[in-house]
Structure 1
Amino acid sequence: MRHQDAQDKDRTDSDFTHTDPVVDQALGWFLRLRDGKQDAATRADFRAWLAKDPRHEEEFRGLEIVWNSEPFLEAVKALPVARSALMRPSGPRWPRRAAALAASILIAAGIWQYPALTIALQADYVTATGAQRRVLLPDGSMMLLNTDTAVALDFGAGRRHIRLLRGEAYLDVVHDAAHPFTVSGRYGEVEVLGTAFSVRTGANEDAVILERGRVQVLCLCDGKDRAVLQPGETVSITAASVSPVHAADTSATLAWREGRIVFEDAPLGDVLDELRRYHGGAILVADERVNQLKVTGNYRLDDVEGAVRTLADVAGAGFHRVPGGLIILR
């Protein structure tokens, strides 16, 4: 046991990683500042790191919120090995070994959902996977949230602004020329006076689809790259630019409002990517050739498993369901 304890003490922050490098750095500083041995140079380095990028302080402070949140504490209490290491009195700072143990337990157990928790803390409205929610906004406009979506509202002092934190929202906006209506995603912002459109944010781009009216879409990168959409048009926005305007089949792309997914001659892999948004478990494809097969269909979103089973039959692929919601096609 003494040998194992020594190994534990020698473990470094690199043993625990997060897919977002900034969050990973924040975790490293978080553990480092709780070992009780930081000196003036360490504190100076930490302040320099915070000042380097606004996200650094945001992620670090958010991690402190997670650390003290009820889900974290309940998770620790549920694990005897963690409880014994973490719940004994240890002064104002936890020992480094205990902090590292907590981080490893949460990561390994899939409990540490820092990005999801920070979004939930910012959001005014949230939908679960597979759910939708209709919201009447303070100005009388209507907002329909799609699966796994979170939004924050700002309707104070004449403002009409929505921040799409995650997912997809359809908006039917009441006309008010004196108070423009804006929606911002991760990469772009939409400005309207009175119209109906959808905004979807993803890991690498935002997408805007206009059903009726007229909107202006601009890139948050510098505010200069922009596009004006007419009904039946779509555009995507990345961290660097706004794409050319393309025609959109709104009856298909907005079919989710009626609880359906519609596609024609689309790669099965793309269709499965869309269905994954509405499925609580994972959908895996063991043979890449299956992803390339072209399929056409119109399916209900409240029965994702049934849709995948039918698509597997069409593609000639085997369908296997594993307890816990995991679906495998091969």
Structure 2
Amino acid sequence: MMARGMMELKDHTSALHDARHWFVLLRDDAASAADRAAFAAWLAADPLHRQAWTETEQLWRRMDAVVPVLRAREPLRDAVSAPLVSRRGWLKQAAAAALVLGGGTYLATAPAFMADHRTAVGERRVIALSDGSVVDLAGDSAVSVAMESGLRRVTLHHGQAYFQVAPDAARPFVVAAGNGEIRALGTAFDVRRGQDSVRVAVSEHAVAVTLDGRRLEAVRLDEGRALQYGADGIGPTTAADIAALLSWRQDRLFFQEAPLGEVVADLDRYRPGRIVIADAAVAALPVTGFFHTAQAEAALQTIAATLPVRLTRLTDRLVIIRAR
């Protein structure tokens, strides 16, 4: 029954994600007849889709009541320049923000409400496990731990964690994250779970990475290397600057040609509120920089000053990043 319930939650979560995508797309003036036909086909394909669409519309109607209040309390101004954005542009941004905040926050953390260990935004925690292993948990992250007679299993629900594994040949140490597993081979390694992919970086010895339990297709990842995996499979192993990838453990964030979407996801773990990127092209912009986790707001201002983007603040905690 528990497995069935989790599967239903996963299906519902996926449908809500798609519904939010359609909602924002169809309210764009650039939406085409083909877009609307594709939406109609999606809506008719599954009762879950219609339910998710109804919930999304209800969320937007609730936001209608909030929008005038926000405008009265905090006139919406660009964080870099001063002019007010148009009503149409503001509503589009509010729609995206409302759907992310109203639905995305819950969806991202839904499995984590039962987590054994979690951290708040800006918090770091070192967790000593009963077998002698140690987990360093980054801000806004959550893990569950299951120590059994023949297996040690940690599930990273969201966020980032560094694992220093105590040797125990009789009990393999496995980290589950997204649609994959990382099996320790006497090692220390870092796992970062993003929205669409998981990054693994090894600082000591090696790990074996598999997708969906297919151990015969395991990819060995050796010390000093990293890879990413997700719905499209396991990516190539690459040489990695491990010290830079682990700089968060010294309250620093280092990025080398990293997509802005990835940078924002990390900053969100150290800054109260939420940062929303308006479109995929902006999310793909490369970022190189070195930031202190206690100065995430300053990092955001630096990004706006050095990239062709601008910041729009809906409230003091909600920021939209869009093309300049």
Shared fold (TM-score, shorter chain, > 0.5):
yes
Instruction: Give the superposition deviation at 1:205.
Output: 2.4
Q: Deviations over 1:245-292 (max 9, x none)?
A: 111111111211111111234455553343234333233567988767
Aligned ranges for residues 213-228 of structure 1 at < 5 Å?
213-220=205-212, 222-228=214-220
| Counterpart AA for 1:220 | D
Instruction: Give the superposition deviation at 1:233.
Output: 0.8
| Counterpart AA for 2:15 | P
2:276 and 2:173 map into 1 onto residues whose CA distance is: 40
For the 8 Å contact 2:109–2:157, the answer to whether it is kept is: no
Where does residue 313 of structure 1 map in the other structure?
305
- Shifted more, 231-240 versus 210-219: the winner is 231-240
Where does residue 238 of structure 2 map in the other structure?
246
Aligned ranges for residues 38-187 of structure 1 at < 5 Å?
110=102, 115=107, 118-187=110-179
- Shifted more, 235-244 versus 112-121: the winner is 112-121
Q: Deviations over 1:136-183 (max 9, x none)?
A: 010111101112211111113353211112222110111222222111
**Cα separation, partners in 2 of 1:300 and 1:163, compared to 1, 3 Å:** same
Where does residue 201 of structure 2 map in the other structure?
209
1:277 and 1:315 map into 2 onto residues whose CA distance is: 21
1:249 and 1:228 map into 2 onto residues whose CA distance is: 18
Gaps of 5+ in 2: 1-11, 20-47, 49-98
Match of 1:20 among 1, 5, 14: 14
1:19 and 1:223 map into 2 onto residues whose CA distance is: 27
2:100 and 2:237 map into 1 onto residues whose CA distance is: 44
For the 8 Å contact 1:221–1:240, the answer to whether it is kept is: no
Between the two proteins, what is the percent identity of the paired residues?
36
1:289 and 1:242 map into 2 onto residues whose CA distance is: 24
Instruction: Give the superposition deviation at 1:232.
Output: 0.9
Where does residue 273 of structure 2 map in the other structure?
281
For the 8 Å contact 1:221–1:239, the answer to whether it is kept is: no
For the 8 Å contact 2:181–2:213, the answer to whether it is kept is: no
1:109 and 1:307 map into 2 onto residues whose CA distance is: 22
TM-score (norm 2): 0.61
**Cα separation, partners in 2 of 1:224 and 1:281, compared to 1, 3 Å:** same
**Cα separation, partners in 2 of 1:239 and 1:284, compared to 1, 3 Å:** closer
TM-score (norm 1): 0.60
Q: Deviations over 1:8-63 (max 9, x none)?
A: xxxxxxxxxx75328999xxxxxxxxxxxxxxxxxxxxxxxxxxxxxx9xxxxxxx
Instruction: Give the superposition deviation at 1:322.
Output: 5.0
For the 8 Å contact 1:278–1:304, the answer to whether it is kept is: yes
Q: Deviations over 1:211-235 (max 9, x none)?
A: 1112111111533322111111112
Instruction: Give the superposition deviation at 1:204.
Output: 2.7
For the 8 Å contact 1:219–1:239, the answer to whether it is kept is: no
SS in structure 2 of the partner of residue 302 of structure 1? helix
RMSD: 3.6
1:263 and 1:185 map into 2 onto residues whose CA distance is: 22
SS in structure 2 of the partner of residue 224 of structure 1? helix
2:170 and 2:100 map into 1 onto residues whose CA distance is: 52
Where does residue 198 of structure 1 map in the other structure?
190
Instruction: Give the superposition deviation at 1:296.
Output: 3.0
Gaps of 5+ in 1: 1-17, 26-55, 57-106
Where does residue 291 of structure 2 map in the other structure?
299
| Counterpart AA for 1:227 | V
1:238 and 1:316 map into 2 onto residues whose CA distance is: 29
- Shifted more, 184-193 versus 271-280: the winner is 271-280
Where does residue 230 of structure 1 map in the other structure?
222
- Report 1 or 2 for greater relative contact order, CA contacts < 8 Å, sequence distance ≥ 6: 2
1:204 and 1:232 map into 2 onto residues whose CA distance is: 23
Instruction: Give the superposition deviation at 1:309.
Output: 1.4
SS in structure 2 of the partner of residue 120 of structure 1? helix
